């Protein structure tokens, strides 16, 4: 199992849709095989369609707000010592998070396919908020499935979805979080696929949805590649790209353009949700050695018990609170191109406090996990090492949690 240089990562799967012959595929009911096949053929065509690419780039620039800023965190770097810490502030994109790229592309695909309705899932509320924004922009009717637990803890994004005209469907089954929202969304699409396009909110699900999402978020690394060369003149010899990982869409978008570089020069570090310190529950299947299972139509590392049942997860971050992870991340782990670790709830909160104390930046709890790792490793590294954190979401959605846990919000 190894990566192939010069071939897009999303295309490095076999004829059955598996990366490394183990991860991915499309485990779906018979009724969805034809819709998924049709979507796969359409996407293959659109990737080569210059008019479609031009339209995508137009909306990325003039509506999403690309490129997003690339800044040095000078105060934080000085405080910690060691490596330089930079941030790609993707939270400056329209809507406050990276999910806007995937939502925009899915709505453009839905329009091309002649669909009038679009349905999606959400955990932190980012994917749902962005999809509701894009649906409103492109004249589509929108329905979002969201776990009841997440609806309570991510109230600002729920209000935004409703304001954009979306119907928010509370999911009361299971753990009432993202994993259940994805399941219910897929069940709904089974019965409505003729009139409705489904947008999976991350790089999870059957093969085609992983490809569409990763292709969309790759905009982040295209921008970053240009910004790094503009800032440094060259690609630094010691570069670490840190990203939080739940489903894994922001990380794949952040790393994509750098995939062919030697890992000794450019290191990818994914930070999963370690959960509460005093609990055995977590959302870190790559870090803590989970087994391969099938979840939401794809084979991947999944938190499961000895009987193969999905284990309930725990994380202060709704966007990382997922028992599985993108099959592509599983592939990157097994090929050793990326390494993965975890940050606890408490470590993420401390990182949020430190970043907001020293910088004019307000990262959500998701990227705060990645900042935790940057804070941990920076003092041990030399000044010629460049750490870049993808600050992929804004903490406005987390204000209730932050007030409760820290006594204040920013």
DSSP per-residue letters across 139-162: T-EEEEEEEHHHHHHTHHHHHHHH
- Classify domain 65-96+218-406 by CATH number: 3.40.50.1100
Q: What is the mean pLDDT of residues 5-30?
A: 96
Q: How many CA atoms lie within 13 A of 237 on its CB side?
A: 3
**CA 222 and chain centroid, separation:** 16
Q: At what angle do helices 99-112 and 126-138 cross, to 10 degrees?
A: 40
Q: How many CB atoms within 10 Å of residue 372?
A: 28
Residue 99 has pLDDT above 90, yes or no: yes
Q: What is the mean pLDDT of residues 364-392?
A: 98
Provide φ and ψ at 115, rounded to 5°.
-85, 145
Q: How many CB atoms within 10 Å of residue 303?
A: 23
Q: What is the mean pLDDT of residues 85-101?
A: 97
Residue 41 has pLDDT above 70, yes or no: yes
pLDDT tens for residues 51-74? Answer: 999 999 999 999 999 999 999 999
pLDDT at 178: 87
Residues 6+ apart with CB under 8 A from 117: 140, 141, 142, 143, 192, 195, 196, 197
Residue 408 has pLDDT above 90, yes or no: no
Domain positions in the chain are 17-60+98-214, 65-96+218-406
- Classify domain 17-60+98-214 by CATH number: 3.40.50.1100
Cα gap 55→195, rounded to integer Å: 23
Band (pLDDT 50/70/90 cuts) for residue 92 is: very high
Residue 309 has pLDDT above 80, yes or no: yes
Q: What is the mean pLDDT of residues 189-215?
A: 96
Residues 6+ apart with CB under 8 A from 60: 66, 101, 104, 219
Q: What percent of the chain has pLDDT over 70?
A: 100
Q: What is the mean pLDDT of residues 82-110?
A: 97
pLDDT at 409: 65
Band (pLDDT 50/70/90 cuts) for residue 410 is: low
Cα gap 150→181, rounded to integer Å: 10
**What are the angstrom distances between the C-alpha of 71 and each of 77, 97, 387?**
12, 17, 11
The token pair that represents 7 in the structure block: 């071939």
Q: What percent of the chain has pLDDT over 90?
A: 92
Band (pLDDT 50/70/90 cuts) for residue 323 is: very high
Domain 17-60+98-214 matches domain 65-96+218-406 at the CATH topology level: yes
Q: What is the mean pLDDT of residues 347-372?
A: 98
In the block, tokens 């800044």 appear at: 71
DSSP assignment string, 14-50: -TTSEETTTEE-----HHHHHHHHHHHHHHHHHTT-H
pTM score above 0.85: yes
Q: What is the mean pLDDT of residues 109-129?
A: 95
């Amino acid at each position: 199992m190894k990566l192939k240089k010069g071939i897009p990562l999303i295309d490095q799967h076999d004829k059955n849709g598996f990366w490394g012959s183990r991860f991915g595929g499309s485990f779906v009911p018979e009724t969805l095989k034809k819709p998924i096949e049709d979507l796969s053929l359409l996407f293959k065509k659109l990737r080569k369609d210059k008019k479609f690419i031009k339209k995508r780039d137009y909306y990325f620039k003039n509506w999403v707000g690309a490129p997003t800023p690339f800044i040095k965190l000078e105060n934080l770097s000085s405080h910690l010592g060691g490596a330089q810490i930079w941030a790609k502030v993707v939270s400056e994109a329209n809507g406050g998070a990276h999910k806007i790229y995937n939502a925009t592309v899915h709505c453009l695909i839905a329009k091309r396919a002649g669909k009038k309705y679009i349905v999606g899932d959400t955990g932190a509320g980012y994917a749902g908020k962005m999809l509701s924004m894009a649906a409103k922009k492109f004249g589509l009717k929108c329905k979002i499935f969201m776990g009841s637990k997440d609806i309570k803890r991510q109230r600002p994004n729920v209000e935004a979805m409703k304001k954009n005209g979306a119907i928010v469907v509370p999911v009361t089954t299971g753990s009432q979080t993202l994993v259940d929202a994805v399941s219910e969304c897929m069940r709904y699409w089974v019965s409505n696929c003729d009139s409705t396009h489904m947008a999976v909110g991350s790089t999870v699900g059957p093969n085609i949805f992983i490809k569409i999402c990763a292709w969309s978020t790759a905009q982040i690394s295209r921008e970053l590649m240009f910004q790094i060369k503009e800032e440094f003149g060259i690609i630094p010899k010691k570069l670490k790209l840190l990203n939080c990982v739940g489903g894994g869409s922001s990380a794949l978008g952040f790393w994509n353009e750098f995939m062919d570089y030697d890992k000794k020069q450019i290191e990818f570090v994914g930070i999963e949700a370690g959960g509460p310190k005093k609990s055995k529950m977590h959302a870190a299947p790559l870090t803590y050695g989970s087994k391969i299972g099938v979840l939401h139509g794809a084979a991947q590392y999944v938190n499961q018990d000895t009987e193969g049942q999905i284990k309930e997860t725990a994380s202060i971050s709704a966007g990382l609170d997922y028992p599985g992870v993108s099959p592509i991340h599983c592939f990157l782990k097994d090929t050793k191109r990326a390494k993965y670790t975890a940050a606890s709830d408490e470590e993420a909160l401390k990182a949020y406090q430190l970043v907001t104390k020293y910088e004019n930046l307000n990262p959500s709890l998701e990227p705060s996990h990645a900042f935790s790792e940057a804070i941990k490793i920076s003092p041990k590294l030399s000044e010629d090492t460049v750490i870049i954190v993808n600050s992929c979401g804004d903490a406005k959605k987390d204000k209730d949690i932050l007030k409760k846990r820290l006594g204040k919000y920013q």
